[in-house]
Structure 1
C-alpha cells in the first residue's frame, strides 16, 4: 500500500473487465493456444500469459517479436476472436466472486460505475451480455474508444469523464500490472485484486489496497464512505 494513501469518499468506481469482473483470462490463454496450433504454431503458455492486460496493438508487437515478421498476425487474431467467442457461447465464461454483491452494493449506495478495458467493443459487449452484466454500468470504455491503451492513463481518464467524476474521489479496481499503472497515472485510488498475475513489490506499492476478491471492496466502501475502521485482511 502506498504510504500517502487515504480513505477519501468513493463517488464513482471504474472496473477493469477481463480477470477482474470476468474469469476470462484463462479462456483467453486457452483460445490463444488453440488459435496458434490451428495455424501451425506452438505458443508457449508463458507467451499467452504475457498478453494479459495488454491492448491489441501491443499484443501484435509481442507476437511479431516472439515469432518473427512472417507470423500471420491478422489470421491469428481473427481466429482468436472466433475461438474465444465460441468458448463463451458454450457457457465457459464465469463471473468472478463478489461481482454481483458489489454491483448490488453500488446500486444501494447510488454510486456510478464504469468499465475501462483493453478489449475491443464487440468482445466487451459479447462477454458482458453472456453473463448478464451488460446493463449494469453507466459507461463502458473499450480500446476503440481511446487513442492510447493501458498502461497509458487515457482509458481511466475517459471513464471518469464519462461518469462526471473527479479522479481523486474515484476508485479503480484492477487485476493486472498494466491496468494498475494506468489507473495510478490517472490519479485514481487503486484496489488490486490479482488474477493470473500475482502481486509484486511494484504493484503493492502502487495499490491503495490488495484484496483476494471483490467481496472485500464492499467492506472498503464502508471504510471510505461510512468512516468505519478497516476490517482485518489476511493477504
Structure 2
C-alpha cells in the first residue's frame, strides 16, 4: 500500500522527523529508507541498531502516531498515478485482489476508505496480523491462502526490496513500481516486470491473460 497505491512514504519522513526531534535524536526521517516494507516491530529493531539507548521506542511510537493522526485528520494522502485505472480494469476482469501491507490495520483501512477503494479488495492482511515482517513470505502466503489462490498464479505489486523479496519467497510473481528506491541486481533477478507507474502495469496486464 505505502509507496505503491498511496504517496505515504513522504508523510512518514515528516512524521519521523517530528518524532525524532521530540525525543531528542534529531530529524530521523531518513530511517524510512532503511525500513521500507517492514512492519512496526521489525522497523524498531533497525532503529535500535541505529540509535541504541538514545531513543525510547514507546515515545517514538507515541509521537509518530500523534503526527500521523493530526496529518491525516487534515489531509488525504495522494493516490499514485494510475491506481483507479488499474483497479477498475482488474475488477472488470474478475481478478481477486487483496492488500498485503506492513502498516497497521487502522492506517490501511483509513487510506483505502478515504480513497473509496476499500470495496475492491476481498481481504486485507496487515503488519499487525502476522508474526514475521517482510521480507519473510508470511504475509503473502496468508493473503494467497485467504484468496484461495495458488501463489504461482498471483501477481504481487510492490515498491520496496523487502516487499518484493517477500512476494518472491512466497512463490508469487513480483512486479515492481519504484517509489523511493530503485532495484538492485538481486531484485532485477526475481521480478517479472518493472514499470514506472500503475498505468503502465495496466497496459502490461492488458497484453497477458490475467
| Cα deviation code 1:78-118 (max 9, x no counterpart) | 21122122222222511101110001001110111000011
| Equivalent of 1:117 in 98, 101, 112 | 101
Change over 3 Å in CA distance of 1:74–1:44 after alignment to 2: closer
Q: Secondary structure at the match of 1:173?
A: strand
Q: Which has the higher helix share?
A: 2
Cα distance in 1 for residues equivalent to 2:70 and 2:111: 11
Q: List structure 1 segments (4+ residues) > 6 angstroms apart after TM superposition.
A: none
| Equivalent of 2:185 in 196, 201, 206 | 201
Q: Secondary structure at the match of 1:206?
A: coil
Name 2:44's counterpart in structure 1.
60
| Cα deviation code 1:175-198 (max 9, x no counterpart) | 000000000001111110010011
Name 2:159's counterpart in structure 1.
175
RMSD after superposition: 1.5
Cα distance in 1 for residues equivalent to 2:29 and 2:103: 20
Name 2:31's counterpart in structure 1.
47
Question: Is the counterpart of residue 96 in structure 1 residue 80 in structure 2?
Answer: yes
Change over 3 Å in CA distance of 1:84–1:170 after alignment to 2: same
More deviation, 37-46/208-217: 37-46
Alignment map for 1:1-235 (pairs within 5 Å): 17-225=1-209
Cα distance in 2 for residues equivalent to 1:148 and 1:50: 17
For structure 2, the residue ranges without an aligned partner over 5 or more in a row are none
For structure 1, the residue ranges without an aligned partner over 5 or more in a row are 1-16, 227-235
Q: CA deviation at 1:202?
A: 1.6
More deviation, 23-32/141-150: 141-150
Q: Is the 8 A contact 2:39 2:134 kept in 1?
A: yes
Name 1:7's counterpart in structure 2.
none
Cα distance in 2 for residues equivalent to 1:46 and 1:89: 24
Q: Is the 8 A contact 2:91 2:120 kept in 1?
A: no
Identify which of structures 1 and 2 has the higher relative contact order when contacts are C-alpha pairs closer than 8 Å and 6+ apart: 1
Cα distance in 2 for residues equivalent to 1:128 and 1:188: 23
When normalised by structure 2's length, the TM-score is 0.94
| Cα deviation code 1:144-188 (max 9, x no counterpart) | 221212101110011111111111111110000000000000111
